[in-house]
Copies of this chain bind each other. A is one copy, B any other.
Amino acid sequence: MAKRNIYLTDIPLDEARATLQAALQAAGAAQPMGGERIPLAHALGRVTAQPVQAIRSSPHYHCAAMDGYALRADSTISARETQPLRLQLGESAFAVNTGDPLPADTDAVVMIEHVNQDHADGLLIYAAVPPWQHVRLMGEDIVTTETVLQVNHALRPVDLGALAGCGHAQVAVRRRPHVRIIPTGDELLPHDQQPGRGQLTEYNSLMLAAQIEQAGGTASIGDIVGDDSTALTAALQSALDDEPELVLLLSGSSAGAQDFSAAAIAQLGEVLVHGIAVRPGHPVIIGMARDLPVIGVPGYPVSAALTGELLITPLIRQWLGLSPPQVKPVAAVSTQKIASPLGDDDYVRVALADIDGQLQATPLGRGAGVITSLVRADGLARIPRFHEGVDRGDSLQVTLLRTRDEIQQSLLIMGSHDPLLELLATHLRLGGGGRLVSVNVGSLGGLLALRRGEAHLAGTHLFDPEAGRYNTSFVRRYLDEKPAQLVTFAHREQGLMLASGNPLGIQSLGDLRRARFINRQRGAGTRVLLDYLLARQGVDSREVAGYEHEEHTHLAVAAAVADGIGDCGMGLRSAAEALGLDFVGLAWERFDLAIPQRFVTMERMQALLETLRSEAFRDELGAQSGYRSDATGKFVDH
């Protein structure tokens, strides 16, 4: 057995991969899978286990390539337009359809359109026919023994056709590598059960099984094992007994859970790596037990997904004889400063927008628990080890998670978020338009993003007390050099979101003095409106307990009230009702879309505006509680 290096602190990804490969080599488990013969009808996407040779020529006999008459070419030498030659049907000429075999002693076909038949079954020929005219010679497509397909080739529809055409009804393909997945963690519940307080849904197994399936392997998911060393060792033992190609131990979320995994692997084999220098994802364990690889996958979902991408999917491909997927990162400009841990490869999920031909990358949520950041991401930016991060405007290397075309068809809206922007996105998609991608940075943040050329449009609901108008003065102030158009999205009802039943009996802003408030972040339109209304009512913000507690969306404020973190927050009627809260209306505000002039005529923006103005969308919007659609789609003078 080759010497193994054992690492118990974070090591770089490449080193971890090399350690795993050396261990696989030593165990004789690095080679592609053996083959199994399966019917062609089930072979799409499977990978050939050996080169495939033709076992029958195609065509396997000389056949007519046209509908007409087969004859001997040298019998027609005397035929002339002015002096037709007469052949007797059934003796020296024979009717054939395309695909028919040439009758004995014939070597050419004359097309039915070029001859005439007389009443006594005589065939009149008007020109000499060259040998092998309109004949598909045996083996024209392929000759028996020729190689049709190489080894390690993923079968496509045309490959299946070619295999059938040269005599195969079955094909030898590599067996699918099998992965046994063992989820662990006391707090976890299968995803089809309803979790109580303190219970979390276990879905990493579902996600990793799908990654494995997508890469060409198969996965089976065992029952969830509690944080119990004996039970986990027993589960690992039983998984190894099945002789899969790989076992995954999925950790729960607690730090202790990883220790159970490591202990179980050490009990039955050897831990080779404990921790790789990748974020999110670093608490990965790599081990070998009974000559089979065992990977301990961290519990946070983004970490788990990344471990699948970086370590597990490449193994599946290796066992299928496929080369690692070639993913060339593209360059994008970071719209924000990103701090990054010095010692790790840092994978940052980003939204991408193609602005004036330049890809702009905006980081999404960084938390390893925020799976939606991966769902929403257009790309993964990798900030390599020994880099402290990037500044706004720096170049980033981004691996695309969508096709370049999809990204080019997308519109990025930054700024304030309205939940019904998703309704607009739905209508846009159903009408065949591209994606509308939304990044929430508050109204002011959106206008600044437009000024810097980081987004295609911005959602804004900024009230200017001096002008007594929404948005217009802000657009003039922040977008003076790059003129923008304002289009109304909707009027929305803002007010106080209160715990269900309104136990504190709050009726107005004055009552905030006796309640714990949940505020919105600085620059948010709702915060601007609140400050205006507080000032008008003569309430000093310092009197409002919780004024410093900031959340970033209407729904986050509503959730905090629903969960009793605060008694009250300011936000949309729709958000309050969505979470079953009471609501006291304070104002109707106008939520506009700011669109830089140069983007208004873009095809995808025109599609968006058309959707916004469509009766179907406006009707559905106007029917929502707390929304009015009478101005929806109208340009705003400013």
**A interface, CB within 8 angstroms of B:** 39-41, 44-45, 51, 57-63, 65-67, 97-101, 107, 131, 136-152, 156-162, 164-165, 167, 169, 185, 187, 191-192, 195, 197-198, 200-201, 203-204, 206-211, 213-214, 252-256, 299, 301, 305, 308, 321, 323, 326, 328, 365, 367, 369-372, 374-375, 403, 405, 409, 419, 422, 425-426, 429-430, 432, 435, 549, 553, 555-556, 558-560, 563, 565, 578-579
Contacts and interface: CB of A to CB of B under 8 A. Distances in A.
Contacts of A328: 405
A181 to B, nearest CB: 12
Contacts of A98: 253-255, 299
Contact of A256 (B45, B97, B138, B152): B97
Contacts of A145: 419, 555, 578-579
A162 B372 contact: yes
Contacts of A138: 559-560, 563
Give the 8 A-B CB pairs with smallest separation, nearest first: A164-B203, A157-B210, A161-B207, A164-B191, A97-B254, A147-B422, A169-B192, A326-B405
Contacts of A157: 207-208, 210-211, 214, 305, 308
Contacts of A140: 367, 369-370
Nearest to A305: B158
B150 A422 contact: yes
Contacts of A100: 187, 198, 254
Contacts of A578: 144-145
A151 B560 contact: no
B553 A143 contact: yes
A409 B66 CA distance: 41
A311 B284 CA distance: 47
A59 B274 CA distance: 27
A58 B66 CA distance: 67
A579 B323 CA distance: 35
Contact of A67 (B44, B192, B210, B255): B255
A629 to B, nearest CB: 19
16 contacts: A51-B426, A58-B372, A59-B369, A67-B255, A97-B253, A99-B185, A100-B198, A140-B370, A143-B559, A144-B578, A145-B579, A156-B210, A156-B214, A157-B207, A159-B375, A161-B305
Contact of A422 (B51, B200, B213, B555): B51
Contacts of A136: 367, 369
Contacts of A563: 61-62, 138
Nearest to A304: B161
B161 A206 contact: yes
Contact of A141 (B165, B197, B372): B372
Nearest to A417: B146
Nearest to A574: B145
Contacts of A164: 191, 201, 203, 206
A430 B207 contact: no
A409 B558 CA distance: 55
Contact of A210 (B44, B139, B150): B44
Given A201-B165, A256-B97, A143 B555 contact: yes
Contacts of A195: 60
Contact of A374 (B44, B139, B158, B367): B158
Contacts of A579: 143-145
Given A144-B579, A305-B161, A578-B144, A61 B203 contact: no
A123 to B, nearest CB: 18
Given A67-B254, A206-B41, A254-B98, A143 B191 contact: no
A616 to B, nearest CB: 14
A61 B137 CA distance: 74
A141 B369 contact: yes
